[in-house]
Protein backbone atom coordinates (compact mmCIF):
# COMPACT_ATOMS: atom_id res chain seq x y z
CA UNK A 1 0.00 0.00 0.00
CA UNK A 2 1.43 3.39 -0.98
CA UNK A 3 1.49 6.51 1.19
CA UNK A 4 -1.94 7.65 0.03
CA UNK A 5 -3.28 4.21 0.81
CA UNK A 6 -1.77 4.37 4.27
CA UNK A 7 -3.50 7.71 4.86
CA UNK A 8 -6.76 6.09 3.87
CA UNK A 9 -6.00 3.14 6.13
CA UNK A 10 -5.38 5.48 9.06
CA UNK A 11 -8.63 7.29 8.36
CA UNK A 12 -10.64 4.05 8.21
CA UNK A 13 -9.01 2.69 11.35
CA UNK A 14 -9.81 5.83 13.29
CA UNK A 15 -13.30 6.59 12.07
CA UNK A 16 -14.94 3.38 10.87
CA UNK A 17 -16.06 2.07 14.29
CA UNK A 18 -17.99 5.26 14.96
CA UNK A 19 -19.40 5.36 11.43
CA UNK A 20 -20.44 1.71 11.63
CA UNK A 21 -22.25 2.37 14.89
CA UNK A 22 -23.97 5.38 13.42
CA UNK A 23 -25.05 3.30 10.45
CA UNK A 24 -26.35 0.62 12.78
CA UNK A 25 -28.42 3.12 14.74
CA UNK A 26 -29.85 4.49 11.50
CA UNK A 27 -30.63 1.15 9.86
CA UNK A 28 -31.24 -0.99 12.95
CA UNK A 29 -29.44 -3.88 11.28
CA UNK A 30 -25.80 -4.87 11.56
CA UNK A 31 -25.55 -6.32 8.06
CA UNK A 32 -27.07 -3.27 6.44
CA UNK A 33 -24.87 -1.02 8.52
CA UNK A 34 -21.77 -2.84 7.27
CA UNK A 35 -23.02 -2.60 3.70
CA UNK A 36 -23.65 1.12 4.04
CA UNK A 37 -20.24 1.70 5.59
CA UNK A 38 -18.43 -0.26 2.89
CA UNK A 39 -20.20 1.55 0.09
CA UNK A 40 -19.58 4.90 1.75
CA UNK A 41 -15.90 4.06 2.17
CA UNK A 42 -15.72 3.01 -1.48
CA UNK A 43 -17.06 6.41 -2.46
CA UNK A 44 -14.58 8.09 -0.16
CA UNK A 45 -11.70 6.08 -1.59
CA UNK A 46 -12.75 6.96 -5.13
CA UNK A 47 -12.77 10.65 -4.29
CA UNK A 48 -9.93 10.55 -1.80
CA UNK A 49 -7.89 13.18 -3.60
CA UNK A 50 -10.66 15.75 -3.16
CA UNK A 51 -12.13 14.72 0.17
CA UNK A 52 -9.02 13.79 2.15
CA UNK A 53 -9.06 17.13 3.97
CA UNK A 54 -12.26 16.10 5.78
CA UNK A 55 -13.03 12.50 4.85
CA UNK A 56 -15.09 11.85 7.99
CA UNK A 57 -17.70 14.42 7.05
CA UNK A 58 -17.88 13.12 3.49
CA UNK A 59 -18.18 9.49 4.57
CA UNK A 60 -20.69 10.30 7.28
CA UNK A 61 -22.89 12.04 4.74
CA UNK A 62 -22.60 9.04 2.43
CA UNK A 63 -23.52 6.69 5.26
CA UNK A 64 -26.57 8.77 6.14
CA UNK A 65 -27.71 8.85 2.52
CA UNK A 66 -27.14 5.14 2.00
CA UNK A 67 -28.96 4.32 5.23
CA UNK A 68 -31.84 6.53 4.11
CA UNK A 69 -32.06 4.73 0.79
CA UNK A 70 -31.98 1.43 2.61
CA UNK A 71 -34.72 2.58 4.95
CA UNK A 72 -36.88 3.73 2.06
CA UNK A 73 -36.37 0.43 0.29
CA UNK A 74 -37.35 -1.62 3.31
CA UNK A 75 -41.00 -1.80 2.34
CA UNK A 76 -40.09 -3.09 -1.10
CA UNK A 77 -37.37 -5.48 -0.10
CA UNK A 78 -37.69 -9.22 -0.35
CA UNK A 79 -35.36 -10.25 2.45
CA UNK A 80 -35.90 -7.83 5.25
CA UNK A 81 -36.99 -9.47 8.43
CA UNK A 82 -34.55 -8.80 11.21
CA UNK A 83 -34.31 -8.81 14.94
CA UNK A 84 -34.94 -5.43 16.56
CA UNK A 85 -31.86 -5.96 18.68
CA UNK A 86 -29.04 -8.45 18.84
CA UNK A 87 -30.15 -11.62 20.61
CA UNK A 88 -29.76 -11.71 24.31
CA UNK A 89 -28.77 -15.05 25.79
CA UNK A 90 -28.57 -14.13 29.45
CA UNK A 91 -30.90 -12.52 31.95
CA UNK A 92 -31.56 -8.89 31.05
CA UNK A 93 -30.11 -6.12 33.18
CA UNK A 94 -31.12 -2.50 33.16
CA UNK A 95 -28.61 -1.44 30.52
CA UNK A 96 -29.65 -4.24 28.17
CA UNK A 97 -33.32 -3.49 28.69
CA UNK A 98 -32.75 0.18 28.04
CA UNK A 99 -30.58 -0.50 25.01
CA UNK A 100 -33.09 -2.84 23.44
CA UNK A 101 -35.94 -0.49 24.21
CA UNK A 102 -34.07 2.42 22.66
CA UNK A 103 -33.14 0.54 19.52
CA UNK A 104 -36.76 -0.46 19.15
CA UNK A 105 -37.96 3.03 19.95
CA UNK A 106 -35.52 4.65 17.53
CA UNK A 107 -36.88 2.48 14.75
CA UNK A 108 -40.29 3.98 15.33
CA UNK A 109 -39.02 7.52 15.03
CA UNK A 110 -39.29 8.90 11.47
CA UNK A 111 -36.00 8.60 9.61
CA UNK A 112 -35.14 12.30 9.42
CA UNK A 113 -35.81 12.79 13.13
CA UNK A 114 -33.89 9.64 13.99
CA UNK A 115 -30.95 10.83 11.95
CA UNK A 116 -30.93 14.12 13.81
CA UNK A 117 -31.05 12.33 17.16
CA UNK A 118 -28.22 10.00 16.21
CA UNK A 119 -26.01 12.73 14.79
CA UNK A 120 -26.66 15.13 17.65
CA UNK A 121 -26.54 12.75 20.62
CA UNK A 122 -24.46 9.83 19.42
CA UNK A 123 -22.00 11.55 17.09
CA UNK A 124 -22.13 14.69 19.26
CA UNK A 125 -22.37 16.97 16.25
CA UNK A 126 -23.44 20.55 16.71
CA UNK A 127 -26.68 21.81 15.23
CA UNK A 128 -24.75 23.46 12.41
CA UNK A 129 -22.71 20.33 11.66
CA UNK A 130 -25.87 18.23 11.68
CA UNK A 131 -27.53 20.68 9.31
CA UNK A 132 -24.56 20.43 6.97
CA UNK A 133 -24.65 16.64 6.92
CA UNK A 134 -28.37 16.62 6.20
CA UNK A 135 -28.31 19.54 3.80
CA UNK A 136 -30.95 21.46 5.72
CA UNK A 137 -31.17 24.56 7.90
CA UNK A 138 -30.26 24.78 11.58
CA UNK A 139 -33.90 25.55 12.32
CA UNK A 140 -34.95 22.31 10.69
CA UNK A 141 -32.45 20.39 12.82
CA UNK A 142 -33.84 21.99 15.99
CA UNK A 143 -37.38 21.22 14.93
CA UNK A 144 -36.58 17.63 13.95
CA UNK A 145 -34.72 17.12 17.22
CA UNK A 146 -37.67 18.41 19.21
CA UNK A 147 -40.15 16.21 17.37
CA UNK A 148 -37.81 13.23 17.55
CA UNK A 149 -37.45 13.51 21.30
CA UNK A 150 -41.20 13.89 21.66
CA UNK A 151 -41.74 10.75 19.60
CA UNK A 152 -39.08 8.91 21.57
CA UNK A 153 -40.67 9.99 24.83
CA UNK A 154 -44.01 8.78 23.58
CA UNK A 155 -42.58 5.39 22.61
CA UNK A 156 -40.31 4.58 25.54
CA UNK A 157 -42.23 6.36 28.26
CA UNK A 158 -40.53 7.08 31.57
CA UNK A 159 -36.96 5.67 31.88
CA UNK A 160 -37.75 4.91 35.51
CA UNK A 161 -40.02 2.17 34.23
CA UNK A 162 -36.96 0.29 33.00
CA UNK A 163 -35.48 0.28 36.49
CA UNK A 164 -38.72 -1.11 37.89
CA UNK A 165 -38.93 -3.72 35.16
CA UNK A 166 -35.35 -4.87 35.54
CA UNK A 167 -35.45 -4.77 39.31
CA UNK A 168 -38.15 -7.40 39.11
CA UNK A 169 -35.74 -9.89 37.44
CA UNK B 1 -42.34 12.31 32.43
CA UNK B 2 -38.61 12.81 31.90
CA UNK B 3 -37.23 16.15 30.89
CA UNK B 4 -35.46 16.55 27.57
CA UNK B 5 -32.10 16.40 29.32
CA UNK B 6 -32.98 13.20 31.13
CA UNK B 7 -34.23 11.68 27.94
CA UNK B 8 -31.10 12.70 26.04
CA UNK B 9 -28.89 11.27 28.77
CA UNK B 10 -30.77 7.98 28.64
CA UNK B 11 -30.64 8.04 24.86
CA UNK B 12 -26.89 8.66 24.82
CA UNK B 13 -26.16 5.83 27.21
CA UNK B 14 -28.55 3.52 25.40
CA UNK B 15 -26.96 4.18 22.02
CA UNK B 16 -23.49 3.70 23.48
CA UNK B 17 -24.49 0.46 25.16
CA UNK B 18 -26.20 -0.88 22.09
CA UNK B 19 -23.30 -0.24 19.75
CA UNK B 20 -20.29 -0.66 22.02
CA UNK B 21 -19.43 -4.12 20.69
CA UNK B 22 -19.86 -3.23 17.01
CA UNK B 23 -16.61 -3.02 15.12
CA UNK B 24 -15.76 -3.16 11.43
CA UNK B 25 -14.22 -6.29 10.01
CA UNK B 26 -10.41 -6.40 10.22
CA UNK B 27 -8.73 -5.41 6.98
CA UNK B 28 -11.66 -3.31 5.83
CA UNK B 29 -9.48 -0.38 4.80
CA UNK B 30 -7.14 -2.47 2.68
CA UNK B 31 -10.04 -4.29 1.06
CA UNK B 32 -11.89 -1.09 0.19
CA UNK B 33 -8.75 0.61 -1.05
CA UNK B 34 -7.86 -2.29 -3.34
CA UNK B 35 -11.41 -2.44 -4.68
CA UNK B 36 -11.37 1.27 -5.43
CA UNK B 37 -8.00 1.00 -7.18
CA UNK B 38 -9.26 -1.87 -9.32
CA UNK B 39 -12.38 0.08 -10.23
CA UNK B 40 -10.24 3.09 -11.07
CA UNK B 41 -8.08 0.90 -13.30
CA UNK B 42 -11.16 -0.30 -15.16
CA UNK B 43 -12.37 3.25 -15.62
CA UNK B 44 -9.01 4.32 -16.98
CA UNK B 45 -9.00 1.36 -19.35
CA UNK B 46 -12.41 2.38 -20.61
CA UNK B 47 -11.35 5.99 -21.08
CA UNK B 48 -8.42 4.80 -23.18
CA UNK B 49 -10.36 2.17 -25.05
CA UNK B 50 -13.28 4.30 -26.14
CA UNK B 51 -11.29 6.86 -28.14
CA UNK B 52 -9.29 4.06 -29.74
CA UNK B 53 -12.44 2.28 -30.78
CA UNK B 54 -13.98 5.49 -32.04
CA UNK B 55 -10.91 6.22 -34.13
CA UNK B 56 -10.93 2.69 -35.52
CA UNK B 57 -14.62 2.96 -36.31
CA UNK B 58 -14.05 6.21 -38.15
CA UNK B 59 -11.33 4.63 -40.22
CA UNK B 60 -13.50 1.63 -41.00
CA UNK B 61 -16.42 3.84 -41.93
CA UNK B 62 -14.27 5.82 -44.26
CA UNK B 63 -12.93 2.68 -45.85
CA UNK B 64 -16.41 1.25 -46.30
CA UNK B 65 -17.76 4.45 -47.77
CA UNK B 66 -14.65 4.57 -49.93
CA UNK B 67 -14.46 8.28 -49.74
CA UNK B 68 -12.86 11.11 -47.95
CA UNK B 69 -14.33 12.66 -44.82
CA UNK B 70 -15.46 15.62 -46.89
CA UNK B 71 -19.25 15.01 -46.77
CA UNK B 72 -19.24 15.45 -43.05
CA UNK B 73 -22.99 15.42 -42.30
CA UNK B 74 -23.43 12.17 -44.24
CA UNK B 75 -20.36 10.47 -42.81
CA UNK B 76 -21.08 11.28 -39.17
CA UNK B 77 -24.21 9.21 -38.77
CA UNK B 78 -22.71 5.96 -40.10
CA UNK B 79 -19.67 6.50 -37.90
CA UNK B 80 -21.84 6.48 -34.80
CA UNK B 81 -23.64 3.31 -35.78
CA UNK B 82 -20.42 1.70 -36.94
CA UNK B 83 -18.76 2.43 -33.64
CA UNK B 84 -21.60 0.65 -31.89
CA UNK B 85 -21.07 -2.37 -34.08
CA UNK B 86 -17.36 -2.37 -33.48
CA UNK B 87 -17.81 -2.08 -29.73
CA UNK B 88 -20.28 -4.93 -29.63
CA UNK B 89 -18.03 -7.15 -31.68
CA UNK B 90 -15.06 -6.46 -29.43
CA UNK B 91 -15.83 -8.27 -26.20
CA UNK B 92 -12.98 -7.01 -23.99
CA UNK B 93 -13.67 -3.39 -24.90
CA UNK B 94 -17.36 -3.77 -24.21
CA UNK B 95 -16.67 -5.18 -20.76
CA UNK B 96 -14.32 -2.36 -19.93
CA UNK B 97 -16.94 0.17 -20.90
CA UNK B 98 -19.71 -1.43 -18.86
CA UNK B 99 -17.44 -1.68 -15.82
CA UNK B 100 -17.50 2.09 -15.51
CA UNK B 101 -21.08 2.18 -14.30
CA UNK B 102 -21.02 -1.02 -12.26
CA UNK B 103 -17.94 -0.70 -10.11
CA UNK B 104 -19.61 -1.45 -6.73
CA UNK B 105 -21.43 -4.46 -8.16
CA UNK B 106 -18.51 -6.68 -7.24
CA UNK B 107 -19.94 -6.86 -3.73
CA UNK B 108 -21.89 -9.78 -2.49
CA UNK B 109 -23.34 -10.81 0.82
CA UNK B 110 -20.80 -12.00 3.33
CA UNK B 111 -20.99 -15.66 4.16
CA UNK B 112 -22.96 -15.99 7.36
CA UNK B 113 -21.87 -18.58 9.84
CA UNK B 114 -24.91 -20.41 11.11
CA UNK B 115 -25.97 -20.02 14.71
CA UNK B 116 -25.94 -23.08 16.89
CA UNK B 117 -29.46 -22.28 18.01
CA UNK B 118 -32.06 -19.56 17.92
CA UNK B 119 -32.06 -16.78 20.52
CA UNK B 120 -33.87 -17.71 23.67
CA UNK B 121 -36.52 -15.05 23.27
CA UNK B 122 -37.43 -15.89 19.68
CA UNK B 123 -41.09 -16.70 19.10
CA UNK B 124 -42.61 -19.21 16.72
CA UNK B 125 -42.87 -17.84 13.22
CA UNK B 126 -40.03 -15.35 13.69
CA UNK B 127 -36.94 -14.62 11.64
CA UNK B 128 -33.86 -12.73 12.71
CA UNK B 129 -30.27 -11.91 12.04
CA UNK B 130 -27.45 -11.36 14.46
CA UNK B 131 -23.73 -10.79 14.17
CA UNK B 132 -23.15 -14.50 13.93
CA UNK B 133 -25.88 -15.62 11.59
CA UNK B 134 -29.47 -15.73 10.48
CA UNK B 135 -32.12 -17.92 12.06
CA UNK B 136 -35.80 -18.64 11.94
CA UNK B 137 -38.34 -20.42 14.07
CA UNK B 138 -41.06 -22.19 12.15
CA UNK B 139 -44.70 -21.85 13.18
CA UNK B 140 -44.38 -25.29 14.77
CA UNK B 141 -41.45 -24.09 16.90
CA UNK B 142 -38.49 -25.67 15.09
CA UNK B 143 -35.30 -23.61 14.97
CA UNK B 144 -33.15 -23.47 11.83
CA UNK B 145 -30.17 -21.40 10.80
CA UNK B 146 -29.94 -20.30 7.20
CA UNK B 147 -27.91 -18.21 4.80
CA UNK B 148 -29.03 -15.85 2.06
CA UNK B 149 -26.58 -15.03 -0.69
CA UNK B 150 -26.53 -13.54 -4.15
CA UNK B 151 -25.54 -16.08 -6.76
CA UNK B 152 -26.19 -17.60 -10.13
CA UNK B 153 -29.53 -18.90 -11.30
CA UNK B 154 -30.79 -22.37 -10.46
CA UNK B 155 -28.76 -25.32 -11.71
CA UNK B 156 -30.11 -27.71 -14.31
CA UNK B 157 -31.26 -30.23 -11.71
CA UNK B 158 -33.32 -27.69 -9.74
CA UNK B 159 -36.94 -28.72 -9.35
CA UNK B 160 -39.93 -26.35 -9.20
CA UNK B 161 -41.30 -25.59 -5.74
CA UNK B 162 -45.04 -25.57 -5.89
CA UNK B 163 -45.92 -23.14 -3.13
CA UNK B 164 -49.21 -21.27 -3.58
CA UNK B 165 -48.61 -17.56 -4.07
CA UNK B 166 -44.94 -18.05 -4.85
CA UNK B 167 -44.56 -18.79 -8.55
CA UNK B 168 -41.32 -19.56 -10.37
CA UNK B 169 -39.41 -20.90 -7.40
CA UNK B 170 -37.05 -23.79 -7.74
CA UNK B 171 -34.77 -25.66 -5.42
CA UNK B 172 -32.24 -28.42 -4.96
CA UNK B 173 -31.84 -30.75 -2.01
CA UNK B 174 -28.47 -32.44 -1.58
CA UNK B 175 -25.94 -33.20 1.11
CA UNK B 176 -28.31 -32.57 3.99
CA UNK B 177 -29.27 -29.07 2.90
CA UNK B 178 -31.75 -27.50 0.53
CA UNK B 179 -31.26 -24.44 -1.62
CA UNK B 180 -34.00 -22.15 -2.93
CA UNK B 181 -33.45 -19.95 -5.95
CA UNK B 182 -35.49 -16.76 -6.26
CA UNK B 183 -35.14 -14.13 -8.92
CA UNK B 184 -34.98 -10.60 -7.49
CA UNK B 185 -36.53 -7.98 -9.73
CA UNK B 186 -34.48 -4.98 -10.83
CA UNK B 187 -34.90 -1.99 -8.53
CA UNK B 188 -35.90 -4.01 -5.46
CA UNK B 189 -32.48 -4.04 -3.78
CA UNK B 190 -30.61 -0.77 -3.68
CA UNK B 191 -27.25 -2.51 -3.62
CA UNK B 192 -28.12 -4.77 -6.54
CA UNK B 193 -30.21 -2.40 -8.68
CA UNK B 194 -30.08 -4.71 -11.67
CA UNK B 195 -31.60 -7.55 -9.66
CA UNK B 196 -30.25 -11.07 -9.77
CA UNK B 197 -30.64 -14.40 -8.08
CA UNK B 198 -30.84 -15.00 -4.37
CA UNK B 199 -29.88 -18.39 -3.04
CA UNK B 200 -31.15 -19.45 0.35
CA UNK B 201 -29.56 -22.44 2.04
CA UNK B 202 -31.14 -24.24 4.98
CA UNK B 203 -31.24 -27.74 6.43
CA UNK B 204 -32.92 -30.35 4.27
CA UNK B 205 -35.47 -31.19 6.97
CA UNK B 206 -36.76 -27.62 7.24
CA UNK B 207 -40.38 -27.29 6.07
CA UNK B 208 -39.90 -25.69 2.66
CA UNK B 209 -43.15 -23.76 2.39
CA UNK B 210 -42.90 -22.35 5.92
CA UNK B 211 -39.32 -21.26 5.35
CA UNK B 212 -40.06 -19.54 2.05
CA UNK B 213 -43.07 -17.72 3.49
CA UNK B 214 -41.11 -16.56 6.53
CA UNK B 215 -38.14 -15.19 4.60
CA UNK B 216 -39.63 -13.85 1.38
CA UNK B 217 -42.59 -11.86 0.24
CA UNK B 218 -43.66 -11.80 -3.41
CA UNK B 219 -42.66 -8.60 -5.16
CA UNK B 220 -45.87 -6.88 -6.18
Write down the pLDDT at residue B140.
84
Chain B residues with CB under 8 Å of A16 CB are: 24, 28-29
Write down the pLDDT at residue B90.
36
- Measured between CA atoms, the residue of chain A closest to residue B149 is A79
Which stretch of A135-139, B15-19, B40-44, B156-160 has the lowest confidence by average pLDDT?
Answer: B40-44
Rounded to the nearest integer, the mean pLDDT of chain B is: 68
Mark yes or no for CB contact A78/B198 under 8 Å: yes
- Are B180 and B169 contacting, i.e. CB atoms less than 8 angstroms apart? yes
Residue B187 has pLDDT above 50, yes or no: yes
Q: Tell me how far CA of residue A120 lies from CA of A128, A142, B9, in angstroms.
A: 10, 10, 12
B91 to chain A, closest Cα gap in Å: 26
Q: Which of B6, B184, B214 sits opposite A78 (nearest CB)?
A: B184
pLDDT digits (tens, 9 = 90+) for A6-59: 888 888 988 999 999 999 888 888 888 888 899 999 999 888 888 878 899 999
Which stretch of A2-11, A55-64, B80-89, B99-108 has the lowest confidence by average pLDDT?
Answer: B80-89
Write down the pLDDT at residue B67.
45
Mark yes or no for CB contact B13/A95 under 8 Å: yes
Strands (E) in chain B, as ranges, are: 126-130, 133-137, 143-151, 159-160, 170-174, 177-184, 196-203
pLDDT digits (tens, 9 = 90+) for A89-137: 444 555 556 656 776 788 889 989 999 999 999 899 999 999 999 999 9
What is the mean predicted confidence (pLDDT) over B51-72? Answer: 49
Which has more confidence, B59 or A135? A135
Which stretch of A139-143, A161-165, B69-73 has the lowest confidence by average pLDDT?
Answer: B69-73
Which stretch of A4-18, A69-83, B134-148 has the lowest confidence by average pLDDT?
Answer: A69-83
pTM: 0.50
Edge-first strand order for the sheet with B170-174 is B126-130, B133-137, B143-151, B196-203, B177-184, B170-174, B159-160
Secondary structure letter of residue B163 according to DSSP: B
Write down the pLDDT at residue B56.
53
- Are A12 and A41 contacting, i.e. CB atoms less than 8 angstroms apart? yes
Mutate to test the interface with B, among A7, A86, A160 (most CBs of B within 10 A): A86
Chain A residues with CB under 8 Å of B198 CB are: 78-79
Write down the pLDDT at residue A35.
87
Residue B129 has pLDDT above 80, yes or no: no
B153 to chain A, closest Cα gap in Å: 17
Write down the pLDDT at residue A139.
93
Chain B residues with CB under 8 Å of A41 CB are: 28-29, 32
Mutate to test the interface with A, among B32, B100, B109, B147 (most CBs of A within 10 A): B32
Q: Tell me how far CA of residue B144 lies from CA of A30, A61, B115, in angstroms.
A: 20, 38, 8
The model's confidence at residue B131, banded by pLDDT at 50, 70 and 90, is low
Q: Which B residues, 107 through 136, put their C-beta within 8 Å of a C-beta on chain A?
A: 107, 109-110, 118-122, 127-131
B142 to chain A, closest Cα gap in Å: 17
Which has more confidence, B47 or B71? B47
> What is the torsion angle, in degrees rounded to the nearest 10, for the CA atoms of residue A82, residue A85, residue A90 and residue A95?
-170
Residue B111 has pLDDT above 70, yes or no: no
- Helical packing angle, A3-27 and A55-73, nearest 10°: 40
The model's confidence at residue A138, banded by pLDDT at 50, 70 and 90, is very high
Domains of chain A, earliest start first: 1-83 (no CATH), 92-169 (1.10.10.10)
**Backbone CA torsion sign across B193, B199, B202, B206:** positive
| Of B16, B8, B15, residue with least CA distance to A149 | B8
Write down the pLDDT at residue B193.
73
pLDDT digits (tens, 9 = 90+) for A143-168: 999 999 888 888 876 655 555 444 44
- Report d(CA B118, CA B143) in Å as an integer: 6
The model's confidence at residue B208, banded by pLDDT at 50, 70 and 90, is confident
Highest mean pLDDT, choosing among B51-60, B66-75, B182-191: B182-191
> What is the torsion angle, in degrees rounded to the nearest 10, for the CA atoms of residue B210, residue B212, residue B216 and residue B220?
-100
Q: How many helices (H) and strands (E) does chain B have?
A: 5, 7
Mark yes or no for CB contact B28/A16 under 8 Å: yes
CB pairs under 8 A between A and B: 167
Which has more confidence, B113 or A71? A71
The model's confidence at residue B87, banded by pLDDT at 50, 70 and 90, is very low
- Are A107 and A28 contacting, i.e. CB atoms less than 8 angstroms apart? yes
Residue B105 has pLDDT above 70, yes or no: no
Mark yes or no for CB contact A45/B219 under 8 Å: no
Amino acid sequence: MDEVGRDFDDFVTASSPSLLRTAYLLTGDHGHAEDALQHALMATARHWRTVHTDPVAYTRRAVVNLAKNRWRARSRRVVEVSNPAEPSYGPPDQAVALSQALVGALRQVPYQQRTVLVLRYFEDLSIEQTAEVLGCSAGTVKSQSHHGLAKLREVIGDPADFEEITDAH
Amino acid sequence: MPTDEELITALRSGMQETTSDLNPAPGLAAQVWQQSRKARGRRLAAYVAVPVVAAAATAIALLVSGGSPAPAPVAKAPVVSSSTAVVSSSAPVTRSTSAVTASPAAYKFAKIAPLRSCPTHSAAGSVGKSNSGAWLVTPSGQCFSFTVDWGDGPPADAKPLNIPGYPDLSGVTAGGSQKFYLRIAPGVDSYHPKGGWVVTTIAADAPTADVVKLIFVPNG
